């Protein structure tokens, strides 16, 4: 088996361990892949270090680096069907959504391929005729890129594209549950002509294959997307050698609906916000907040439509959403709902697995709505990362803002209102990295993505995404060197 890429060579794991990848929709076998550990991670870091210190990539001008990214974008577009299929088999996600995810990856490689050519350093006024001062960008060095399982190809692309654009070398460690498109993307990078050792791939569980990347002294930066608890561990491990860290972590995202919103549109989006990919989206609008005067009618409409959502596998064209990623994750979602009910939330729909025998082999969980939720409940404090919507009621704009901000998270959220001034006012008061007004979920390669507060420290996409992977250096050149004579 040869699923790890180390120093330009496809290889098996040193300990010869393997893992079966099974489709969460029906448990069918998708692939058997190599499963590496600490020794593989160390070899991959050594290869990336050597490629950074001695190889051509960090010294390649921005033009050819951008060209390579544009070639990769074309290849990802060329292989769209195969990549979307592989993503759906690993994640259980509907094929239509996986196809959108491939488009996202293409847009990301195109964006950074073009951006890096236009980004220049600057000349600074030194205030003297005898010196020239320039500020230039340089790569950070060896980057450890660690990604989760919910949108594997876009999340990998959001890291790989800017890291390469900036001239870094890297070791990628995708989620052990969904490695297929990471392997495929690495094959495309090789096909595109990336020099050996620039891109390295290690597969395996986080504690064994990921953790050794986060404290290895030869790694300069860790870019991590995943859960808050793991993020804290990664940050602590990276602190030992003061690595640069870019963390994209969990969210419990408020979707705030005022009484003057377009009722039907807001109901429709409230469903997509949380039930798309069965809630396994970091920006899922899992926290519905509705103004008192329309609360009951709004929640009734959401519950009515949530009951009708059709579940099914990735290739079932009638399915509107799919399974959870694993039995363990489904058990966590079940426990989350049980905790909410024990604390006084009311179950309006779902709350259990479907009884359709056709779904019995998958990790399905019914779209669930819990109302009568309020501050202090664990379901508001925690992210379920499943198809669970919690509902709160608010009475005023100030209360909506106060409640929405009363959380350790700050990733994303939305405001729904027919009053443009109010929508803007509330959007500016929400402590969130992304706020949608009268919409939910759109994301652009040219606009930054990242969390406030404990939702993360990093920025992905946009010029800020490139900045994460670059050092900025000031070079001062004395054009008329003379002795200073201070110590004469």
Interaction residues for ligand NAD, span 43-102 (CB under 6 A): none
Minimum distance from CB of 174 to ligand NAD (Å)?
6
Backbone angles phi, psi at 112, to 5 degrees: -70, -30
φ/ψ region of 197 (left if φ > 0, alpha if ψ in -120 to 50, else beta) reads left
Minimum distance from CB of 147 to ligand NAD (Å)?
6
Determine how β-strand 122-124 pairs with β-strand 131-139.
Answer: antiparallel
- Write out the two tokens for 156: 């990998």
- Write out the two tokens for 38: 């600490």
Which one of 30-38, 181-189, 244-252, 374-382 is the stretch in contact with ligand NAD (CB under 6 A)?
244-252
- Write out the two tokens for 453: 């507060």
Count the residues of the shown chain that bind ligand NAD, applying the rule CB under 6 A.
33
Q: Catalytic: which of 35, 87, 97, 248?
A: 248
* CA–CA separation, 485 and 309 (whole Å): 81
* CA–CA separation, 386 and 150 (whole Å): 11
Interaction residues for ligand NAD, span 105-164 (CB under 6 A): 146-150, 155
CA atoms within 13 A on the CB side of 205: 6
- 282 as an active site residue: the answer is yes
The 3-state DSSP class for residue 416 equals: strand
Q: Catalytic: which of 23, 282, 349, 353?
A: 282
* CA–CA separation, 158 and 460 (whole Å): 6
Interaction residues for ligand NAD, span 325-384 (CB under 6 A): 383
Of 451, 452, 461, 470, the one binding ligand NAD (CB under 6 A) is: 451
Q: Per CB under 6 A, does 201 bind ligand NAD? A: no
Q: Per CB under 6 A, does 23 bind ligand NAD? A: no
Binding map of ligand NAD across residues 247-286, x = CB under 6 A, - = no contact: -xxxx------------------------------x----
Q: Could you tell me which of 473, 33, 464, 472 has the C-alpha nearest to residue 223?
A: 464
Determine how β-strand 221-225 pairs with β-strand 244-248.
Answer: parallel
Minimum distance from CB of 146 to ligand NAD (Å)?
5
- 300 as an active site residue: the answer is no
Q: Per CB under 6 A, does 226 bind ligand NAD? A: yes
Footprint of ligand NAD on this chain (CB under 6 A)? 146-150, 155, 173-176, 205-207, 210-211, 214, 225-227, 230, 233-234, 248-251, 282, 383, 385, 411, 451, 455-456
Name the residues annotated as catalytic.
248, 282
């Amino acid at each position: 088996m040869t699923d790890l890429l180390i120093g330009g060579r496809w290889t098996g794991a040193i300990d010869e361990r393997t893992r079966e990848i099974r489709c969460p929709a029906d448990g069918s076998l998708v692939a058997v892949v190599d499963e590496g550990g600490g020794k593989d991670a160390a070899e991959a870091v050594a290869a990336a270090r050597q490629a950074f210190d001695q190889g051509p990539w960090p010294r390649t001008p921005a033009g050819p680096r951008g060209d390579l990214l544009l070639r990769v974008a074309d290849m990802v577009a060329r292989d769209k069907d195969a990549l979307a299929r592989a993503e759906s088999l690993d994640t259980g996600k509907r094929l239509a959504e996986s196809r959108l995810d491939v488009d996202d990856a293409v847009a990301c490689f195109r964006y950074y391929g073009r951006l890096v050519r236009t980004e220049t350093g600057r000349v600074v006024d030194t205030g003297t005729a005898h010196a020239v001062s320039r500020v230039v960008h340089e790569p950070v060095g060896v980057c450890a890129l660690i990604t989760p399982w919910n949108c594997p190809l876009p999340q990998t692309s959001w890291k790989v594209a800017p890291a390469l654009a900036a001239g870094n070398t890297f070791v990628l460690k995708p989620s052990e549950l969904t490695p297929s498109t990471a392997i495929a993307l690495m094959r495309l990078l090789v096909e595109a002509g990336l020099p050996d050792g620039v891109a390295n791939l290690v597969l395996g569980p986080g504690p064994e294959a990921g953790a050794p990347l986060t404290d290895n002294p030869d790694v300069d930066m860790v870019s991590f997307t995943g859960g808050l608890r793991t993020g804290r561990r990664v940050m602590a491990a990276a602190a030992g050698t003061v690595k640069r860290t870019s963390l994209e972590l969990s969210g419990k995202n408020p979707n705030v609906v005022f009484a003057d919103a377009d009722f039907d549109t807001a109901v429709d989006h409230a469903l997509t916000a949380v039930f798309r990919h069965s809630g396994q989206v970091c920006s899922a609008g899992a926290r519905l907040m509705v103004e008192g005067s329309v609360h009951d009618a709004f929640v009734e409409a959401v519950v009515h439509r949530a009951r009708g959502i059709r579940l099914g596998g990735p290739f079932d064209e009638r399915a509107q959403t799919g399974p959870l990623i694993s039995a363990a994750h489904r058990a966590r979602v079940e426990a989350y709902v049980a905790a909410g009910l024990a604390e006084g939330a009311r179950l309006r729909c779902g709350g259990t697995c479907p009884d359709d025998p056709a779904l019995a082999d998958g990790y399905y969980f019914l779209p669930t709505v819990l109302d009568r939720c309020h501050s202090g409940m664990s379901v508001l404090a925690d992210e379920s990362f499943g198809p669970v919507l919690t509902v709160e009621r608010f009475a005023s704009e100030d209360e909506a803002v106060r409640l929405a901000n009363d959380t350790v998270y700050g990733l994303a959220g939305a405001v729904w209102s027919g009053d443009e001034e109010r929508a803007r006012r509330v959007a500016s008061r929400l402590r969130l990295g992304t706020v949608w007004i009268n919409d939910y979920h759109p994301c652009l390669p040219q606009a930054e993505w990242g969390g406030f507060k404990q939702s993360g420290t990093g920025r992905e996409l946009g010029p800020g995404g490139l900045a994460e992977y670059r050092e900025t250096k000031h070079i001062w050149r004395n054009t008329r060197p003379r002795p200073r004579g201070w110590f004469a």
